[in-house]
Chains A and B, each alone.
Chain A
Amino acid sequence: MQRIVVCVKSELDATGPIFLIEPTVKINTKDLVPILNPADHAALALVRNCIAQEDGQITVLTVGPPSADKVLRTCLATGADSAVRVWDDSFMEEKMDAKNISLLLSKAIKKLDAELIVCGSESLCETSGYVGPALAELLDAVQICKVDFMQCDDGDGSMVFHRKHNYGNREVISSSLPAVVTVDFGAATPPVVSMKESIKAKKMPITLFDLAELACESSEINADANANILQYIPPRPRTKKLNKAPDKPMTKQQKMQMMLGGGASKKNSSVVEGNPKQAAKEFIDFLIAQRIL
């Protein structure tokens, strides 16, 4: 049986109403709801799809305050077998950058003695994609990115991974373990949460690793970050050629299209009018003329 660790992150739901504290610098996160980072959820779903429960035990691992338990329980309800949270009261949340997180995760993974380590390729908020590669470095393990299929190789304990390339090409890799694998959002669809699994997950214990447990010094963690964000520069707003509907006699749709397109509508596009039957006929004629049908 394999020991698998899936590293997950509690993220804030970006679909909630977003308010900026300082323009373009900080978001007011007080009222946002914690969710499981979508790429991490895909990673967990991919592992569970590819490796049955009797072949591999999945431990989900996160670094975060007690509020992160919520996403661990989401993982427990959707395929994980156990959960570990790393946190110590001496941690300062603002110092928890990708470097420190990777360090803590690597220590916890060593303690859990995992053979396969799976991460989402990047988080929702910072999208730096740092943690996966950094873990591979810290653990001195093989690193394979953007995996969308995996399989145990029965013979020598190595594993086969598939990576998807453009135009449907696939790369098949055989690798020894331990290996760090990252998974893109969309590589697998997480299952629908079931009522019974949720109830079971609510009752499962979550193991806590603190600094003493990881045999780690707080000076290692709370050191100043190596990199700081100085400024965030949003793209220059696009100038619109036309911000007023033209006076020409046009239908409402045409006016809308012109305003949305920022200028005269493109040559090839046109608005189909008339009742649905006529419109459908015109549409099909167009497709035939374009040799699509």
Chain B
Amino acid sequence: MSEERFDCIIVGGGLAGLTVAYLLANEGLEVLLLEKGNYSGSKNMTGGRLYGNSLERIIPGFADIAPVERRVVKERLSIMKDTVMQMVEYDASGVFVQEQEGESYTVLRGKFDKWLSEQAEDQGAMLVCGIRVDDLIIRDGKVCGVVANDEEMESDVVLLADGVNSLLTQKLGYKNKLGTNQVAVGVKEIIDLGADVINQRFNLSDGEGIAWMFVDSNEVCDGFLYTNKDSLSVGVTLKVENIHKAESSVPQMLEDFKKLPEIAPLVSGGRLVEYSAHLIPEGGMDMVPKLYGDGVLVAGDAAALCANLGFTLRGMDLAVESGRLAAEAILAAKEEGEFSEQSLSGYQTAIEKSAAISCVKGAEICRKAVTDADSMKDPLDAFNSALQSAQIGGKAVGDNG
């Protein structure tokens, strides 16, 4: 038995884990967050766009103090069909998602997560970096703590936010090994250009950004481009099950993508400063595992909460939202005085009812509507109605359940 005990141990210092740490520490709980990297954000990666509302609820006005790169004011969507590419550009504020989820910002996780971890530490959470959690302590089916490098640490409740390839939820049996139809691989380059060049090339003012998605109707290789403060995030994503359709390797796809006549002039003269790759959960609601157990909750990418809506990709705001709901569930369970499966079960219901997270259900329908050639006539209307119908459908399922 260890002499020390925490109220909650959080595995993983991404947005979901940090949100829970922030909220629980704010309520005065003893929280320990274990992160594998040397600091929060050192191993975290995304394309780069965060919808603000879910974090705004936790830290009002975060965009003014956090190291966000640019506020997205313009959206572009290109639909690639064989060799033909059509592009629409529209004002970000007219999109249904933005109306619901607030302003969106481009972020670089290395900076942003580091900032959020400092906020959580200010609230009193204990962050320990450089520790990989190998296993969970399970007694009579109840999760009692974590094992890292043969050391044990106990807590009332453990929150698993260990990312898309969550080995701990697999160990608990909540999730199987990732299937090829469940994940996409994303590869991203950050290309340094300087703020002035970006403003000029994209016709932006300081602090304003663009989010540009490329959807491949053959479902081989999607692409994205986001503007950061001084750099561009350019990348491609490929659903692993479609890899047989691809004619080149994934890194080569990114090279080819950068050579497209639409992209080449925008990145020319830039300096590559970062190259990264990551898995993206795209299995929709079917991939979402059981999210609670005796003494344990699952949040963020580990819970497969990510939605590829075609014209946008959401994951970070869902991670924050799931973190908030998990923190609420833990606080409610603490009130009850026990962290049993029963008392934590409200979390799964809350996730299923959450308006933000319902987009995971509609993701596939929405992406299909985007690739549908007809949608090009009036793309905005098509996406919005597709998303709305998906949301309503999701709501109905939630209510019945």
Interface residues of A (CB under 8 A from B): 13, 17, 19, 31, 33, 35, 192-196, 198-199, 202
Contact A193 B274 (CB under 8 A): no
Give the contacts of B236-276 with A (CB-CB under 8 A).
Answer: 273-274
Contact A196 B151 (CB under 8 A): yes
* Number of residues from B at the complex interface, CB < 8 A: 21
Contact A198 B128 (CB under 8 A): yes
* A196 vs B2: C-alpha distance when bound (angstroms): 9
* A63 vs B192: C-alpha distance when bound (angstroms): 35
Residue B94 interfacial (CB < 8 Å): no
Contact A199 B130 (CB under 8 A): no
- What are 8 of the A-B contact pairs (CB < 8 Å)? A33-B38, A195-B128, A195-B131, A195-B149, A196-B2, A196-B151, A202-B126, A202-B128
Contact A196 B153 (CB under 8 A): yes
Give the contacts of B34-65 with A (CB-CB under 8 A).
Answer: 34, 38-39, 42
CB of B23 to closest CB in A, whole Å: 20
Residue-wise, chain B 75-96 has the 8 Å CB interface mask toward A (1 for contact) of 0000000000000000000000
* A196 vs B126: C-alpha distance when bound (angstroms): 12
Contact B128 A199 (CB under 8 A): yes
Contact of B274 among A13, A17, A192, A194 (CB under 8 A): A17
Contact B273 A194 (CB under 8 A): no
Residue B111 interfacial (CB < 8 Å): yes
Residue among A19, A33, A194, A196 having the largest count of chain B Cβ atoms under 10 Å? A196
Given contact pairs A195-B149, A196-B151, a sample of 8 additional A-B residue pairs in the complex whose CB atoms are under 8 Å apart: A13-B38, A17-B274, A19-B273, A31-B111, A33-B42, A193-B131, A194-B149, A195-B148
Contact B110 A31 (CB under 8 A): yes
Give the contacts of B257-297 with A (CB-CB under 8 A).
Answer: 273-274
Interface residues of B (CB under 8 A from A): 2, 4, 32, 34, 38-39, 42, 110-111, 114, 126, 128, 130-131, 148-149, 151, 153, 192, 273-274
Given contacts A193-B131, A194-B149, contact A199 B126 (CB under 8 A): yes
Contact of A33 among B2, B39, B128, B149 (CB under 8 A): B39
Given contacts A17-B274, A33-B39, contact A192 B126 (CB under 8 A): no
Q: Which residues of A contact B110 (CB under 8 A)?
A: 31
Residue among B110, B111, B114, B130 having the largest count of chain A Cβ atoms under 10 Å? B130
Q: Which residues of B contact A19 (CB under 8 A)?
A: 192, 273
Contact A195 B153 (CB under 8 A): yes
Q: Which residues of A contact B274 (CB under 8 A)?
A: 17
* A198 vs B132: C-alpha distance when bound (angstroms): 13
Given contacts A33-B38, A202-B128, contact A195 B151 (CB under 8 A): yes
* A2 vs B126: C-alpha distance when bound (angstroms): 33
The chain B residue sitting closest to A73, CB to CB, is: B128
Contact of B131 among A13, A31, A33, A198 (CB under 8 A): A198
CB of A188 to closest CB in B, whole Å: 19
Q: Which 7 A-B pairs have the closest CB atoms?
A: A198-B128, A195-B148, A195-B151, A195-B131, A193-B130, A17-B273, A196-B151
